[in-house]
Structure 1
């Protein structure tokens, strides 16, 4: 989803961010097959048949750049490069497992760096783990818009404006964001949509020699995977879509439902906190604890929290919300949220600010990745968004009624799309919201977590029912996405499907991890 709150792959990247690069290399894995290297059209043959220069890039990983057309309608025209990384299989290799952590805007390269933690030994034995930065993201023809100082100001905008001046600030900030992207990346913007990213992934599939795509995508990565299957149903081997996005839900409806998902997660956190030692709430009821969070946000809006990081940022309501949201993605981070809230109730928002920086991918030196910019650029051409300040103001009020802590923030976060300067080239953006069916594809496994804060369970149900071969696997747990978050039931089902193509029973629900 497009907003300042979310980079939907964050749960996984909380782990990936801890993983650095070293300096060893490993022998290239052999390619398999030749049929997969044939292009679907003669005009694209040279892209599918290219042989990238894979080179060691630390910790046994290999990196390469793969050429793709900027505009698939004009394959002989301008080209861009997609940066890819792979970790060779440790055992009897059967192909490549392509991965995407979400966003849009999250780096598939950084995600792959955490492969030893994020994927089972069984998967790593049988597959090369292949990550890539989608076009517009990270190291792949990145969208650039604002300076880090400008992004600090944009991210810190009041996400629940309740005065004409605050609404005007939202409008000016959103217009400035869109204009900055046009000024610095205007020629790229029409081509960064997910349909082109799916086409790029098919080129990558052909380049590594796989006859069919094996893929595990999380959050937004489920949209990338579903769109791939819709475009190339006969080139699917096995797709796992974990933490599913439902493409049949309109932008504003998705924002509202997503905000409600964060409310559910916050309530689950407070219930857990009240049973734990060191819980900072003075109230001993869930409703009372939720009211204390409301009071903290109001306090930060009126009198910013103290910032001991020495970077001069004002910790108002926006940064406070971001700091609360971040650990809601991963229930293993709830103890950290308890501690940060304890400090915030005393007036110190520094720990919340540190967690907010993880979500927006802001480094300690103040420099941002292009995650926020690419997130906006991709979503604004992928989906239709309403126009007009009054429209967003009304939608934000409605969302706040359904999700008091997060509704307004999620809704206003899409506001730059109201002023977006381009449409997707080639008509790839949806003129209307519609499901993806992927007719003719083999079984596709859709995974949903019952109390997922960012991609509510109903979206997984929706996507599984819309795909002609969708199979739903539920997880009765907390946090964003399910695979490798603690459920042996989920992990076994996913591994069996990806390796042996054994499909679990539709609508099976794994119990909460003990």
Structure 2
């Protein structure tokens, strides 16, 4: 099962802001769009009107991109940009842009955060690069996907996604149907034009409008897919590219063609997420101040009992919500991405065992993009809009709802064998695309990027979201790529405690030093 990819640990939360501009056209039920240009060439010839912003510390501007590249003159959206100029212009290499993952996370905010002295990620590259941030279409400031209201989203996440009977399964289907119908109602026509292939073309319009021959790029998690698409379509325009925690674009999920695996799941082969939770409990048990049980097996049993208990009788949180099994599991799931969150997990579980679900709910909020004021960012709906665009269009809506629900139940039974903690919940909470209101736009395919310069790939050995095997496959398929492996659990290799990885990335971006093939980092 695939899982949602997460952003850099240090990245601040998205601001819940969208922008419009003069000369607006509106489409019923859709985000505000801007006056289109007649041809793709006209979009490529744009010039950006940069204005001071962020108290004069940055420059802000925007470009227009066509909603449909096959009909560029029909409709356009505005893509706001932020630029931090190189602090050493005499040594300037070019423009560096980035995407932190998701899909659904904000590249605009990632660059904006580089103004913060605490940022140790992109900020260091500003010495020799202009940092330029953008939100992919459907995200944040760029015609953000809109689905449910904040209250409706709270209610959706309170759904019992671990049903035990046919009525419960139908309630799950109804929840997904309400969610996806709202996405179409509030986002309109744009919902059919949010796939990654469109974003790659938007990126080249941005490159051209910036007046750059080459675009340097740092992609994380899902952002590595964008980088691969860009390098495949525009190899001559690629400068230096690093992709961290690799998403394999050839990985195909035909959601409408369920073929049972002839080999039954092996209960001794725990899922990566369940293994990490066991590691978390074991690490806690080894400390004298562990707020959980000092026997990891007992702690795991108590954790499962907690999930069962809140599933039947949700517990209170300090903001008035109730913590049921779905929100609790999302909170635990979020903690598995980053070892720095393990102490929060321990405290949250200990509090929940004593009847206070606040800590687990707050961890879950980080996963779904909910602020401490109860506002949701566009990250969750944008995630599904992009994910659901990637499938075989010929198979869309090819099964009855009865077939779908029966297969979901079967999938849940299988998933629970290797993931006793998360399996059933994930099987029922993640098949949003089976109810998606518009057909997919692209089929997964292998990317080769012939003609692009050497692409540096990074991946942790124990990454629960982007498996090392995927990175190895991508490294084999790309025409020119070097994979650097870090022996480490968790998601994201760069700026995550490895001096070895950080030195390789800095050396490549600053001096063009390509790491040796087979390079490994053990710190």
Distance apart, 1:504 and its partner CA: 1.0
Per the TM alignment, residue 274 of structure 1 is displaced from its structure 2 partner at its CA by 2.1
- Provide TM-score, normalisation by structure 2: 0.85
Contact 1:300–1:317 (8 Å) recurs in 2:
yes
1:407 equivalent in structure 2: 423
* Structure-1 residue corresponding to 2:44: 48
Of the three residues 427, 434, 445, the one matched with 1:418 is 434
CA RMSD in angstroms comes to 2.5
Q: Is the 8 A contact 2:39 2:72 kept in 1?
A: yes
Unaligned 5+ segments in structure 2 are 18-37, 256-264
Match of 1:497 in 2: 508
Tell me whether 223-232 or 157-166 shows the greater mean CA deviation: 157-166
Give the Cα separation in 2 of the matches to 1:96 and 1:279: 47
Higher helix share: 1
Aligned to 1:106: 105
Distance 1:356 1:305, change over 3 A: same
Aligned match for 1:65, one of 52, 62, 73: 62
Q: TM-score, normalised by structure 1?
A: 0.87
Q: Does 1:297 align with 2:293?
A: no
Describe the shift of the 1:63–1:278 C-alpha distance in structure 2 as closer, same or farther (beyond 3 A). Answer: farther
Structure 1 residue 410 displacement after superposition: 2.9
Q: Match of 2:442?
A: 429
Instruction: Give the secondary structure class of the aligned counterpart of 2:316.
Output: coil
Equivalent position of 1:309 in the other structure = 319
Alpha-carbon contact 2:138-2:194 (below 8 Å) kept: yes
Please state how far the C-alpha of 1:122 moved relative to its aligned partner: 4.5
Number of the residue aligned with 1:376: 384
Task: Go from structure 1 to structure 2 and tell me whether the alpha carbon gap of 1:347 and 1:143 turns closer, same or farther (over 3 Å shift).
Answer: same
Q: Does 1:149 align with 2:151?
A: yes
Equivalent residues in 2 for 1:1-150, closer than 5 Å: 6=4, 8-12=5-9, 15-17=11-13, 43-58=39-54, 60-91=57-88, 92-115=91-114, 116=116, 117-119=119-121, 122-150=124-152
Matches within 5 A, 1:357-376: 357-376=365-384
CA 1:435–1:179 in structure 2 vs 1: closer, same or farther (change >3 Å)? same
Q: Distance in 2 between matches of 1:61 and 1:481?
A: 27
Q: List aligned pairs for 1:332-481, cutoff 5 A.
A: 332-384=340-392, 388-424=404-440, 428-430=441-443, 433-481=444-492
Secondary structure of the 2:111 match is helix
In structure 2, what is the Cα distance between the partners aligned to 1:429 and 1:409? Answer: 28
- Structure 2 distance, partners of 1:331, 1:11, is 13
3-state SS of paired residue (1:279): coil
For the residues of structure 1 that align with 2:377 and 2:120, how far apart are their CA atoms? 22
Task: For residues 191-241 of structure 1, give each alpha carbon's deviation from its aligned partner in whole angstroms, at most 9, with x where no partner exists.
Answer: 111100111011111222221221111111111111111211222112211
Shift of 1:434: 2.8
Any idea what SS the aligned residue of 1:382 has? coil
Contact kept, 8 Å, 1:264 with 1:451, in 2: the verdict is no
Q: Distance in 2 between matches of 1:73 and 1:19?
A: 32
CA gap of 1:324–1:113, structure 2 versus 1, over 3 A, is same
Q: Secondary structure of the residue that 2:458 maps to in structure 1?
A: strand
Aligned counterpart for 1:164 among listed residues 149, 163, 166: 166
| Residue number in structure 1 paired with 2:35 | none
Alignment: residue pair count:
476
Out of 181, 184, 195, the residue aligned to residue 182 of structure 1 is: 184
**Structure 2 CA distance for partners of 1:359 and 1:288, relative to 1, 3 Å:** same
User: Is 1:263–1:403's contact at 8 Å kept on the other side of the alignment?
Assistant: yes
* In structure 1, C-alpha distance between the alignment counterparts of 2:176 and 2:14, rounded to whole Å: 32
Larger displacement relative to structure 2 (214-223 or 71-80): 71-80
* Contact 1:2/1:414, CA 8 A, preserved across alignment: no
1:266, CA displacement in angstroms?
A: 1.7
SS at match of 2:322: coil
Higher relative contact order (CA 8 A, sep 6+): 1
Asked whether the equivalents of residues 177 and 435 of structure 2 are also in contact (C-alpha less than 8 Å), the reply is yes
Paired with 1:408 and 1:217, the residues of 2 have a C-alpha distance of: 31
**Structure-2 separation of matches of 1:328 and 1:318:** 16
Partner of 2:292: 281
C-alpha separation in 1, matches of 2:468 and 2:507 = 22
**Matches of 1:90 and 1:341 in 2, distance apart?**
45
* Partner deviation per Cα, 1:10-64 (whole Å, 9 max, x = no partner): 443x54239999xxxxxxxxxxxxxxxxxxxx94222222112222221612222
**Corresponding residue for 1:506?**
517
User: In the alignment, is the contact (CA less than 8 A) between 1:16 and 1:113 conserved in 2?
Assistant: no
